[in-house]
């Protein structure tokens, strides 16, 4: 498990799909669910699971254990901004643990909604590779610990929607053209009928930024891993067809206007002195379109566009600065960072 993080790899800028994610939800048989755990039990459980994944002197040195309680707020936010942890995990009050692989593409949240949340993220359209990496960690735990498992229902989870395989598969997908059309709102309830949902950039309960969404399965009970992944792939293909139709229509009728928006976006990113996160995300979305469809005749940054999107978020800016900043300070720091990239 080595190499570059998924968000630093060129394939993230080569199509609408930025990344593929597999998340496995698991609980240990010997402990009550998260809602019934007390602090001593939670602490013991976290240590036990961490030891199963990377026991001392095992040679499994590719995971790093993070003590969330000892991390500052800015550093915790960077984990959220990198999609390593969930908002709910950061809100937790009981002892928690986080294990991260060397390349940051595989992580394990201990004591989130479930005892174990294994997450694997790969760049581009690579659900099979993400599943393989997640299963490797799952197997390590099962070598020494027993999961809560029912012969009829499958893996038992705190939320019934995860019971069964405990698998949540998702793509992070860029849908800027579709987002601008009237059919976008009608599409959301339509895909829900097929057990698929479209959520914001950081998952459930979050909003889209820069036209980026997460599309994932909603339920796992009664379905195999293969069936879940196939259904997601089929629905994502249909959503991308709608995006391509909206793109072709918009570029066919308003290509000059679109190019103007892209170049204006580039200019603001290159020369602004103060900029909000939302405005910057929207402008970066335009610039990504420009590079993706050959509408922008400017040298491409050495960093991937999504990596730039991630590094302009509050946690990253404050971590680089080494201090807490108010909103105005972050807006100035964000603009300075973007000028270095695009000017």
pLDDT digits (tens, 9 = 90+) for 193-242: 888 998 877 666 567 789 999 999 988 888 999 999 999 999 999 999 99
Q: What is the pLDDT of residue 61?
A: 59
Q: What is the pLDDT of residue 64?
A: 86
Between β-strands 106-110 and 97-101, what pairing exists: parallel, antiparallel or unpaired? antiparallel
Beta bridge partners of 101: 63
Report the candidate in 294, 204, 187, 278 with the shortest Cα–Cα distance to residue 238: 187
Q: What is the pLDDT of residue 182?
A: 77
Q: What is the pLDDT of residue 60?
A: 59
Token pair for 111: 């004591």
Mean pLDDT of the chain: 92
Q: What is the pLDDT of residue 54?
A: 80
- Whether residue 77 contacts residue 91, with contact meaning beta carbons closer than 8 Å, is answered with no
Percent of the chain with pLDDT over 90: 77
Which residues does 322 contact at the CB level (< 8 Å), separation at least 6? Answer: none
Token pair for 64: 């790093």
Report the candidate in 181, 342, 173 with the shortest Cα–Cα distance to residue 254: 181
Q: Is 238 helix (H, G, I), strand (E, B) or coil?
A: helix
Q: What is the pLDDT of residue 185?
A: 79
Sites in the chain below the pLDDT cut of 50: 1-2
The answer to whether the Cα torsion of 24, 153, 227, 199 is positive or negative is negative
Q: What is the pLDDT of residue 189?
A: 83
- Whether residue 221 contacts residue 257, with contact meaning beta carbons closer than 8 Å, is answered with no
pTM: 0.91
Tell me 69's DSSP state.
Answer: G
């Amino acid at each position: 498990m080595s190499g570059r993080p998924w968000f630093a790899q060129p394939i993230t800028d080569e199509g609408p799909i930025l990344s593929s994610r597999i998340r496995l939800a698991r609980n240990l048989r010997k402990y009550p669910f998260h809602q019934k755990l007390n602090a001593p039990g939670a602490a013991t459980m976290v240590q036990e699971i961490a030891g199963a994944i990377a026991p001392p002197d095992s040679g499994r040195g590719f995971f790093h254990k993070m003590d969330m309680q000892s991390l500052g707020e800015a550093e915790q936010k960077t984990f959220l901004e990198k999609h390593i942890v969930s908002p709910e995990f950061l809100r937790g009050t009981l002892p928690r643990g986080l294990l991260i692989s060397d390349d940051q593409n595989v992580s394990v949240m201990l004591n989130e909604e479930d005892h174990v949340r294994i997450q694997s993220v790969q760049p581009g359209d690579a659900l099979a590779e993400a599943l393989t990496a997640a299963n490797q960690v799952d197997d390590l735990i099962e070598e020494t610990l027993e999961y809560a498992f029912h012969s009829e229902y499958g893996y038992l989870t705190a939320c019934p929607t995860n019971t069964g395989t405990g698998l949540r598969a998702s793509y992070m997908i860029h849908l800027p053209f579709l987002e601008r059309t009237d059919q976008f709102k009608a599409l959301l309830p339509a895909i829900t009928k097929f057990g698929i949902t479209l959520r914001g950039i950081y998952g459930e309960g979050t909003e889209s930024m820069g036209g980026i969404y997460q599309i994932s399965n909603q339920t796992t009970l009664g379905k195999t891993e293969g069936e879940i992944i196939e259904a997601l792939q089929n629905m994502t293909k249909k959503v991308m067809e709608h995006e391509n139709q909206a793109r072709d229509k918009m570029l066919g009728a308003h290509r000059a206007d679109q190019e103007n928006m892209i170049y204006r976006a580039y200019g603001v990113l290159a020369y602004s002195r103060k900029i909000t996160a939302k405005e910057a995300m929207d402008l970066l979305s335009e610039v990504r379109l420009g590079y993706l469809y050959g509408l922008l005749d400017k040298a491409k940054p050495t960093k991937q566009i999504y990596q730039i999107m991630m590094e302009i978020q509050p946690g990253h800016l404050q971590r680089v600065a080494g201090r807490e900043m108010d909103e105005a300070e972050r807006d100035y720091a964000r603009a300075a960072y973007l000028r270095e990239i695009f000017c």
